[in-house]
Amino acid sequence: MENRRVVVTGIGAVSPLGNDANSTWESMKEGRSGISLIESMDTTEYPVKIAGEIKDFDHKPYFSNPKDARRMDRYSHLSIAAAQMALAESGLTESSGIDRNRVGVMLGSGIGGLGTLEVNHTALMNRNPSRVSPFTIPMMISNIASGVFSMEHGFGGPNMAIVTACATANHSIGEAWRMIKFGDAEAFVAGGAEAAILPMGLAGFGNMKALSTRNGDPATASRPFDVGRDGFVMGEGAGVLVVEELEHAKRRGANILAELTGYGLSADAYHLTSPHPDGLGAARCMDMALKHAGLNAEDVQYVNAHGTSTPQGDICETKAIKKTFGNWSQEGLVVSSTKSMTGHLLGAAGGVEILACINAIRDGVIPPTINLHDQDPECDLDYCANTAREVQIKAALSNSFGFGGHNASLLVEKY
């Protein structure tokens, strides 16, 4: 069973850079910022007034039953939309002879239905218990997008939702990889979604002093590895892949986008919100992904960094990359943080960032780290500053690290 190879056959995304995977990728290559002043809520009393919001997105076409859409939180709307896009590209449901009981779904969220909780808690406090919607619980729980998507398509395989904060999407895709390799499924729809640009989300992260307050120039606020970075910029979105066993994909004539060859996971076991100062957990995570893929450090050309634009986090990840990749980190490896453009999509981040890795391999283009004009001396790698670069890529690694010390790395290779 260890020889079962896993490939990617579909990608779906909704992000501050575009309402589908292709427009998101094209914006990344252009180095365009998706950060702006928040329009979805009144920020008058908030010290943070910027975020990566999704604009002009209509979720309704992605639901066959309008009633289902009305009974779901915004994070689920984004999740289902990205999943439908990935499934459509894969052609999985159009293939004859597929066993739907061998197709799994793993759509996670770091926070879940925060908007639903806010609305119904307000109704409870300001009015009375009868005003709380009977759909409150199923709308806000983090597993409901997975459940609804399986019902929509009759997918009876493994179905679950992982919650590991900002590592959620990578863990979801990685565990789908593991279950396919182990033989428990032939294919998975896997990824993550988040929609937390809300009063509670903005106040909670803001009061932690985790967010950038560069309100006067939103497009330059997310600046990973730059001396002037002052915190991450919150974003919203979803990123979902269809991953499947290689022979299964070949039998149905699927278009194979890349091969998923490595998955690493670890715990910092250190602090509630801060990464290990020496990047030890992150390094173990990347080491495991390389080991699973059977690759040496110099076999990887590109790392899509977690790179959140936090003062400590960017230094710790730099240390971790140097620990894992050794001399190659200085001699040939290119690193970039697409969060400089999208902001931090929290539980959706890994799903959108693995998109960047897969398309970087396909197009031979590494997306830039924008707003990097005064590089921190402690961040001393090649971060592909400000402009995309043409590089032939055979293997790329994507990092996602979450509050609680949850680490997840995915490694994709050219098929």
**Could you list the active site residues?**
166, 306, 344
Beta-sheet pairing, 187-194 with 237-245:
antiparallel
- Rounded-to-integer distance, Cα 267 and Cα 281, Å: 6
Among 3, 134, 161, CA closest to 76:
161
Among 264, 302, 213, CA closest to 35:
213
The helix-helix angle for 349-363 and 21-30 (nearest 10°) equals: 70
Quote the tokens at residue 213: 């307050």
Q: Are 7 and 246 in contact (CB under 8 A)?
A: yes
- Cα 14 to Cα 66, 192, 228: the distances in Å are 20, 11, 29
Helices and strands (H and E) in the chain: how many = 14, 14
Beta-sheet pairing, 36-37 with 302-304:
unpaired
- Rounded-to-integer distance, Cα 367 and Cα 33, Å: 12
Q: What DSSP string describes 151-165?
A: HHHT--S-EE----G
Q: Are 293 and 2 in contact (CB under 8 A)?
A: no
Residue 23, helix vs strand vs coil = helix
- Rounded-to-integer distance, Cα 64 and Cα 73, Å: 16
Q: Which secondary structure element, helix H or strand E, spans residue 124, and what is its range?
A: helix 114-126
| Length in residues, the chain | 415
